[in-house]
Each structure stands twice: as C-alpha cells, then as structure tokens.
Amino acid sequence: MQQQRIVYDDTTVRRFIFAAVVFGIVGMAVGALVASQLAWWQANLGIPYLTYSRLRPLHTNAVIFAFVGNMMFAGVYYSTQRLLKARMASDLLSNIHFWGWQFIIVAAAISLPLGITTSKEYAELEWPIDLAITVIWVVFAINFFWTLAKRNEKNLYVAIWFYIATIITVAVLHIVNSLALPLDGLKSYSVFSGVQDALVQWWYGHNAVAFFLTTPILGIMYYFLPKAAERPVYSYRLSIIHFWALVFIYIWAGPHHLLYTALPDWAQSLGMVFSVMLWAPSWGGMLNGLLTLKGAWHKLRDDPVLKFFIAGVTFYGMATFEGPLLSIKTVSGLAHYTDWIVGHVHGGALGWNGFMAAGMFYWLVPRLYGTKLHSPRSADAHFWLGTVGILLYIVSMWISGINQGLMWRATNADGTLLYPNFVETLLAIRPMYIVRFVGGSMYLVGFCMMAWNLWKTARAGKAVDGETTVIVEEAQAPVPTATTTPAPGWVQVVTGRPLVFAIAILTVTMFLGWAKPVRALVLMGAIVALGELAWIVTRKDREAGRPSWFALIEGRPLAFTVLTLVAILIGGVAELLPTILIQQAVPAHGEAQKPYSPLELQGRDLYVREGCYTCHSQMIRPFVAETQRYGDVSRAEEFIYDHPFQWGSKRTGPDLHRVGGRYPNLWHYTHMMDPRATSPGSNMPPYPWLAENRIRVKDAPKKLSLMRKLGVPYTHTDVDSAEARQKSQGEAIAADLATQGVQVAWDSEMVALVAYLQRLGRGPQDVPATPSEVAPTASAAGAQEGGGR
Amino acid sequence: MSEKSLIHHIYDGIEEHDNHLPKWWLFILWTTLVFGAGYWFWYHIAEAGPGQLGEYAAESAEHAQRMAGNTPASDDLLLNLVKDPTSLDGGKAVFQSNCAACHGAQGQGLIGPNLTDGFWLHGGAPMAIHKVVAEGAVAKGMPAWERTLGAERVKAVTAYVLTLKGTNAAGGKAPQGEPEQP
C-alpha cells in the first residue's frame, strides 16, 4: 500500500478569481455607462469609441466571456481537481489558458470600441481573436481531459458531466458560427448569409447562454452548494435526467430568437416547442440546488454564501420559466425587440451568474488564503443591495418592454396606428431607463464592496494550496459497477438499454418530420410504447439489482464525452442542415435581390462597424401594425446576399429594412449629424465623424471579389468597374446634398452609409456600368460565366 | 418525497441522496412533451393551423374591413375640414410630431420645402397636397404617410397644411416649384 500526496494547483484558481472580479467591475461599469446613454444621449460624449452602439458589444462580451468566463474557470479548476483527486495535468497549460484568456479579453476591449466587429451578437470579435479563442479553448480542453485521464477517482461526479458538456459544445458552437472569409487582418465576412446566417448565429447565441452561462455554473452549483450547505445533494437520479434532457433539448431552442421572422415556419416551431420542453429540465437543476438545502434552511440566516447561492438558483428558476414563456410565438410577438428580453437576460446574468459567482468567491477566497472572510456584514449588505438592484432592473424592463410592445401594436377604432411616431413609444419608457440605470448601478456598487471585502480577506491571510492523499493501490480496487464484467466495457456502453431505447425513440421521432397525419399517429403511438417499454425494463433492472448503465458511463469519460457530443449534434444538424440546403435553392429574382452596389457594400460595413444593429432591426414581421409602420413583410429571399445578416434583436429605434427611399439624403445627413434635428426626443447618439472620415476607396473591388467567393453573383466586370461605380454613386449623393447647401466629400463615410440606407428594401440605387462603358479587360469574357449563378 | 438512502459514492466529501423525482416536476415534464408533440402535429403534420403568413392574411383582411368605413378624400371634404377647429387641432398635432422635423414648426421649410410661400412642387390644390402626403413623393424624399398615419390623420394634416398656405412664415426656405395657379 502506497500513499501519494497530491497538492492542488490553487494559484491558477486565485488568478482566475482576481481576473473575474476585475473584469466583472469593468464589464458592469460599461453596462452602467450604456444604460445611462439610453436614458441620456449626451452620455455618448460625442466620442466614437464611447458611443453606445460600439460599447454595447463590449459590455456583453466583457460580462459573458471576461467575468463569467474567468469565474467559471476558477470554479472548474478548483472543483475538478478535488472531484478527481488529481492536480491539473499541466501547469504550463494552465498558465497558457489563464494568460491567453486575459490576452483575448484585452484584445476585445481594444478592438470593439474601435469598431472592429463582425456584428454577430456575443461573437463580435474578429477572426484573429476568434482563432486565439479556439486555440485557448483547446488548451483548456486538453488540460481538462488530460486531468480526467490521470484521475484518482473512478467515477465522475455530476459537476464534471456539466464541465464536459460545456467544453465540447462551446467548441462546436464557436467554430461553426465564426466561419468567415477574411478581407484583411481586421475584417471578415460570415460564410453564411441571410436566413442561414441568422439561424447559425442564434443557434450559437442561444447556446452560448446555455453552455457558457448555464451548464458550467450548474456544475459549479453541484460542487459548491452542497459544500457550503454541508448537506447531501437532493437526488442523483434527478441529476441524470436533467443533465441529459438539458444537453439534448437546449441545442434545439435557438430559433426562438427568430420567431415571426423570415425563418421557415418549421424551424420556428421546433425552436418554440423545444424551448417549452426545456422548462422541466431547467427546473430539475434548480430543484437539486434548492432541495439540497432541505434540513439546513436555518443556515441561510447567517451565511452570506448560502444566501447568494439560494437567491442565484431562484433567479435561475425564474429566468428558465420566463424563457419558455417568451418562446411561445404569441408572447414573442409582443416581447421580441423590446426591453422585456433585456430584463430577461439580466435576471439570468445578474441573478444567476452574478450571485453564483459572489457566493463562490465568498466561500473560496477565505479557503484559498487560509483565513476567514473579512466582513460578513459587508457581504450581507452586498446581497441586499444586489437583490434590490436586480429587482429594480428586471421590473423596470418588464414594464418598459410590455408597455412599448403594446404601444407599437395599439390601433385606433379605424385600424390606424395609435402611436404612428416611433419616438412617442420611446419617450413613454424613458423613466424606466432611469430606474434601470439606478438598479444596475446599485448592483455594481455591491459588486465593488465584494471586491474590497475579498481583497481585505486575501491580504489578511496567506495563499495556501489544498492537498490530499490518495492510496494508489486502493484506487485500483474494484468499484461496484465492475464486479461482474462479462463483456468488454465499450460493448456494455453501446448495448446499454438507455442508449438503445434512446436511439430507437429518436429514430422513430425523426420520421415525424415527414409523416402524414395517420402515419404520424402510428409513429407517436410507437414512441409512447417504446417509452413505456423502456420504463418497465429499467424498473425491472433496478429491482433485479443490475448495475446501472449510467454508473457505467460515469466511469468512462471518453464514452461520456462522445455521447454528449452526439446529443448536442442531433439538434444542431436537424435544424441547420435543411436550412442551408434550402437556402441554396432560393432563386434570385426581383430588385431587392440584386447584390449591393460597391458604395452600398462599403456603407454596409460602416453600418456594421458603428453597431447600428444594436438598436435597429431589419426584419418586418407579419403583423399589420408592423407593416403599417415599416412597410411590407420581410421575405427570406431578400437577404440572400447579406454576409452577415443584420436583422438585429432589439428596437430601441425603428426597423430599417424598408427605409430606402423613404427620406431624402439630406434627412439622413441631418439625422446622423444630430438625430434630434429630425426626430425630436430620440436617444440616438450623433455620428458626426462619418462626415469627416473617408472610406477606403481601393477596398471596393477587393470586397466585391470576396463576396464573389462567398457566392454573390458579381461579375468580373462588376469587380473591375467597382471603383468607378463607387465614385459615380458617391458623387451623385454628394451633389444632391450640395444642392441643399451641405458639403461632404463623395468618398466620406457619410455618403457611403447614406447610399446603403437608401438601398434598403429595394434594388441598388446606382446605374451599374454596362460593359460598353468599361474599358474591355481580360476578365470581360469571364463575366459571362460569373454572371450566372 | 421520502429521503432515499444515500448512494455509495462520496466525491470530495459530497454525498448524494437518490430521492424520487417530485410528482409536480414530472407533471410539467410530461405536459410540455405532450404539448410539443401536439403542436407539431397540429401545425406541421395535420397542417390544421395557418402558418404565419396565413395568420397575416387573415389579420390584413380584418384590418381592411375596419378601414372600409372611411370616406374617401375630396377637395370639398378637405375644405370643410379647414373650417373644423377640432380637426385642425388634430392636424396641427400630427404636423408637429411628424412633419415639423423636415418642414419646420411653422411650415417654413428645412429639409423639405417651404409650405407657406405659395410655391408648390406637386401642386397646391387640396387633393394634390393630399396625394403627396398620402402617397409620398419618393423621388423628392417625401415619405408616404397614409400607411403609417391612417386616412383620417392624413386628411386632418392636409387640411392643416392648407391653412399654412400664404402665411409666408419668417425665415422661410427659398421657394421651390411653381407658384400656385388660382
């Protein structure tokens, strides 16, 4: 018998906590700033780098990836080592992971205010940073799975399951959604376009919430909550069911971000139905958290750690009830594009992520420094300040969102809009914007108190690394599941009854996609019968005392990982693949389906750079109130050349899909220089630098030929004449403005952006050069073949 | 909810009960699963419910009915509205919130032309002005307002614009178009 002493790597944990607290303050401070900008437009300060539309992506990225990311890594590193009784496999990889991640955050904090962005929400970072994220994530994965391989604990605890799901799913999501062709070192275009891009983006966006903000934090809950409460976890079988249900169902739910858009009905229905079915699996996690405290509720009174955990889990329950509710098409019709969604995500981010982080930090830091928490009273004050802050935040956003949603659709008796002027609906909710700013700021103050408290705690103690001893020989001792092993392990895994039944049921379910009513009923009967049979067989097995298949795979990380991967791929493939195939079959016809002119394309990049999509949608939904206000319903085929799509997810300002031709050029110029000159009461920031900055004229042909590679039917002639076309269109707009007494250069950013806006919802607004006007070139012959798509 | 025995594993001091799943939780699980299957069956297998464009067509038809009661605009109707102070107040409010940004609070012209100088790009007759307000003049950048504002507001604001005619507001934009023929 040999004893082995294991010292855990807690230095990395301490570093990640430090980074999480620092970036948490930064991310939330930026959040408070953008909240103030919505209430008081003057807070944009007239500085491009501090303008709302550029800072909003910084806020979301900082909070998700810098704050929650670092917090998650701290929790994962701490708990994984202890649950596996092994030090992280490689200190070098841990170091690369930590410093690499901080480098990515700094790169994001610099590039986003500069307007270097892909405009895909929560994936705005440009391709070099995307590559760095991939590399660092792989480093993390190697370090984690290597530690799994070296573990001194046969079976994997539920927390580890959630970490596995997180690591592989985030990798898949990030890589697929970031697929893009680079124009230069700082700019790339999504390989997907229009509907396809929207679906991929929200498959990613929704599952970033699921697998970055939820599953790792559930794993952390499963470790730290029973630790802090000193109580056993409520139910092992509940953890099995809610884990597998969660990872399988979550991935389907993305289309609920696109309800009533131009996404095909079937994909919308899948998104809605699976979101509704997520309610119980999500609440399974909440239950296992809350009920673990059964018999220890009295501890809540004096322990700030448990207060944060229980409130955090409760907010999780609230957000995961609200999510399915918002996914119901009728509810989404009212709530989409409004502040209700903003309130919903902040219930999750501030309540669930922020409070779970605080609980974990208050529990961990004293242990990592071998001392007691400096001030439990301050932690208590933080809790109450934070809770009141969250409530102010989400209640104000409910009121604001529902109010504005109702105002948008309110009609007079004769069917005309009650509030035809968009600004009226914005002014109505302004008081709520102020309340939200107050609530968010309270939360930030509480968070800063925590930072001070943790700092004092750390200073009072000394960094100590946890350790344990394992008995090497006994680690090999037979575990209960391995007592009778007639067949090799992998055979047992593959032939396990839960797996066989799951595959059978999924196979039958798949045919429901095409079945006619009668056959569908038969199939549904078969599904119920299979489910019933599975239930009976499982019960018999349990009564007979046969080893559980789940216990078997819990001892086999590879099998577990592969099965998780399969579970998350099914939903993704089922939704993305048909959409991608259908998209390619859409015929190009009509004016709106002509590719952008070179100047319009340049202007579009400015629309992306300035982050217009953070406040303006380009998607008119099929409601009369919406078509009265914005024009005809948006159709899928109108977006086929949109790399990336610009549908947006929030209407702080009106929809712009059919703004082309609605106003004169001078209106747009005036509006961009001083939004309140044309729209009194608007909270839009001014963009005066657009009139000064020049576009890069030489980029036009490069952009066209890149778009050509992405499947946009530009001809070689188009590419060759791009600069000339760009100039003539720019000069026409500049000349029109000059007649009204406004002097701007034809190659100013203003002119390019106006050209783009004037084109929205209709065809290109310049006269394309006919081949005879362009000097014949070698590529003219190629134009013929390039013309047909 | 009886406390089932602890299961055998202890992970870093953490033990696990194996309690039954709460009945109400199972109820939610099964209800949502049945709802999901039913929803899919109804809309995508039986195709018993309309798709979203079908819903929109129905809503549009209903909306068209509500609008059907409106009296079409005419020169006489608009000139009568000019004499109706309630309608003019309404027209003025519509003008201030939707038109003033481009035509100025007194109609003196900013981005859009001066409405007070007796010169008109598209004619100054009541129905000519009504047509421009309702359908817009896209080439000149005048939006079509009838869709958004509705027929009644367009009539009211047209009547209000008729009252601005010839007021020659101070600081007005230089005349555009032709002087109105009597």
Residue A159 lies in a domain: yes
**Contact (CB<8Å) B16/A631:** no
**Which of A233, A415, A665 lies nearest to residue B17, judging by beta carbons?**
A233
Percent of chain B with pLDDT over 90: 34
CA-CA distance, B127 to B138, in Å (whole number)? 18
Overall average pLDDT of the B140-150 stretch: 85
The pLDDT of residue A786 is: 35
CA A440 to chain centre: 21
Domain endpoint, select from A445, A475, A505: A475
A470 and A512 both lie in a single domain: no
The rounded distance, in Å, linking the Cα atoms of A777 and B125 is: 55
Rounded-to-10 torsion of CA A739, A742, A748, A750: -100
**Residue at A586 is within a domain:** no
Residues 6+ apart with CB under 8 A from A459: none
Interface test with A, best of B19, B41, B53 (most A CBs within 10 A): B19
Mean pLDDT value of segment A9-38:
97
Q: Looking at residues A527-553, what average pLDDT do you find? A: 86
CA distances (Å), origin A533, targets A520, A524, A567, B38? 20, 14, 22, 22
pLDDT tens string A326-343: 999 999 999 999 999 999
| Same domain? A600 vs A670 | yes
Using the beta-carbon criterion (under 8 Å), do A153 and B33 form an inter-chain contact?
A: no
* Chain A residues whose beta carbon lies within 8 Å of the beta carbon of residue B44: 265-266, 269
Q: Residue B9 phi/psi, 5° resolution?
A: -75, 140
**In the 8-state DSSP scheme, what is residue A261?**
S
Judge: A236–B150 Cβ closer than 8 Å, yes or no. Answer: no
On whether residue A563 sits in a domain, the answer given is: no
Confidence grade of residue A589 (pLDDT, cut at 50, 70, 90): low
Q: What's the whole-model pTM score?
A: 0.91
Secondary structure class of A496 (helix, strand, coil): coil
The CATH number covering residue A312 comes to 1.20.210.10
CB A59 within 8 A of CB A31: yes
Query: Does residue A580 lie in a domain region?
Result: no
pLDDT of res. A250? 94
Query: What residues in B contact A83, CB-CB < 8 Å?
Result: 11-12
Indicate if A168 and A241 belong to the same structural domain: yes
A568 falls within a domain:
no
pLDDT band at A779 (very low <50, low <70, confident <90, very high): very low
Is residue A267's pLDDT more than 60?
yes
Task: Look up residue A207 and give its amino acid.
Answer: N
pLDDT at A777: 38
Buried b (16+ CB within 10 A) or exposed e, A186-211: ebbbbbbbbbbbbbbbbbbbbbbbbb
Q: What is the pLDDT of residue A783?
A: 36
Residue A479 pLDDT exceeds 60: no
Domain shared by A454 and A492, yes or no: no
Is there a contact between A332 and A256 (Cβ–Cβ < 8 Å)? yes
Residue A227 to residue B14, Cβ atoms within 8 A: yes
Smallest CA-to-CA distance from A527 within B41, B97, B72 is with B41
User: CA-CA distance, B173 to A167, in Å (whole number)?
Assistant: 65
Residues of B in contact with A757 (CB under 8 A): none
Chain B contact set for A239 (CB, 8 A)? 16
Q: How far is A183 from chain B (nearest CA, A)?
A: 35
Would you call B140 and A82 a contact, using CB atoms and an 8 Å cutoff?
A: no
Domains, chain B, ordered by start: 1-49 (no CATH), 75-179 (1.10.760.10)
Alpha helices per DSSP H over A230-346: 236-250, 265-277, 279-290, 304-327, 329-335, 339-346
Residue A284: CB partners within 8 Å, gap ≥ 6? A238, A239, A241, A242, A245, A246, B21, B25
Residue B59 CA to residue B182 CA, distance in Å, equals: 45
Residues of chain B found within 8 Å of residue A79, distances taken between Cβ atoms: 12
pLDDT by residue (tens digit) across B83-94?
989 989 999 999
Of A497, A523, A554, which closes a domain? Answer: A554
Band (pLDDT 50/70/90 cuts) for residue B166 is: confident
The tens digit of pLDDT for each residue in A198-250 reads 999 999 999 988 999 999 999 999 999 999 999 999 999 999 999 999 999 99
Clarify whether residues A224 and A264 are in a common domain.
yes
Q: Is the predicted pLDDT of residue A785 greater than 60, yes or no?
A: no
Q: Are A276 and B21 in contact (CB under 8 A)?
A: no
Would residue A567 count as lying in a domain?
A: no
User: Is residue A564 a part of any domain in this protein?
Assistant: no
- Closest-CA distance of chain B to residue A179, Å: 31
Q: How many CB atoms lie within 10 A of CB A301?
A: 8
Question: Are A440 and A510 part of one and the same domain?
Answer: no
Same domain? A314 vs A402: yes
Pair A549, A496: CB distance under 8 Å = yes
Give the gap in angstroms from C-alpha B151 to the nearest C-alpha of chain A: 8
Residue A62, CA distances (Å) to A203, A352, A361 in order: 21, 17, 19
Q: Same domain for A373 and A498?
A: no
Say yes or no: A59 and A184 in one domain: yes
Rounded mean pLDDT, A352-361: 97
Q: Report the chain B residue with the minimal C-alpha distance to residue A554.
A: B9
Determine contact, residues A304/A379, Cβ cutoff 8 Å. yes
CA B91 to chain centre: 18
CB contact at 8 A, B164 and B107: yes
Q: How far is A259 from chain B (nearest CA, A)?
A: 10
Domain of residue A458 covers 3-475
- Residue B25: its chain A contacts at CB < 8 A? 238, 280, 283-284, 287
Picking from B6, B12, B149, the nearest residue to A420 by CB comes out as B149
Does the CA dihedral A587-A590-A592-A594 come out positive or negative?
A: positive
Same domain, A468 and A518: no
CA distance B60 to chain A (A): 6
- Mean pLDDT value of segment A770-781: 38
- Per-residue pLDDT tens digits for A549-568: 888 888 899 999 999 999 99
* Mean pLDDT score across all residues of chain A: 91
Smallest CA–CA distance, residue B34 to chain A, in Å, is: 9
Residue A189's SS3 state is strand
pLDDT at A472 over 90: no
pLDDT at A770: 43
Distance CA A437, CA A433 (A): 6
Domain tally for chain A?
3
Q: Which of A506, A525, A554 is the last residue of a domain?
A: A554
A515/B101 touch (CB, cutoff 8 Å), yes or no: no
CA distance A668 to chain B (A): 10
- Concatenated DSSP letters for A662-673? TS-HHHHHHHHH
Q: What is the pLDDT of residue A517?
A: 87
Confidence band for B2, pLDDT divided at 50, 70 and 90: very low
Question: What is the radius of gyration, based on Cα positions, of chain B?
Answer: 31
- Who wins on pLDDT, A283 or A513? A283
We report the CATH number of the domain holding residue A744 as 1.10.760.10
pLDDT at residue B65 tops 90: no
Query: Cα(A582)–Cα(A262) distance, rounded to whole angstroms?
Result: 13
A628 closest CA partner among B105, B151, B46, B159: B151
Check residue A607 and give left, alpha or beta (phi > 0: left; psi -120 to 50: alpha): alpha
Residue A401 covered by a domain: yes
For residues A536 and A604, state if they share a domain.
Answer: no
Q: What is the mean pLDDT of residues A301-312?
A: 94
Contact list in B for residue A243 (CB cut-off 8 A) is: none
| Residues in chain B within 8 Å Cβ distance of A276 | 32, 35-36
Does a cis peptide bond (omega within 30 degrees of 0) precede residue A644?
Answer: yes
Could you tell me if A185 and A280 lie in one domain?
yes
- Show the tokens assigned to A531: 């489910």
Segment A114-170, tens digit of pLDDT? 999 999 999 999 999 999 999 999 999 999 999 999 999 889 999 999 999 999 999
Q: What are phi and psi of A82, to 5 degrees?
A: -75, -35
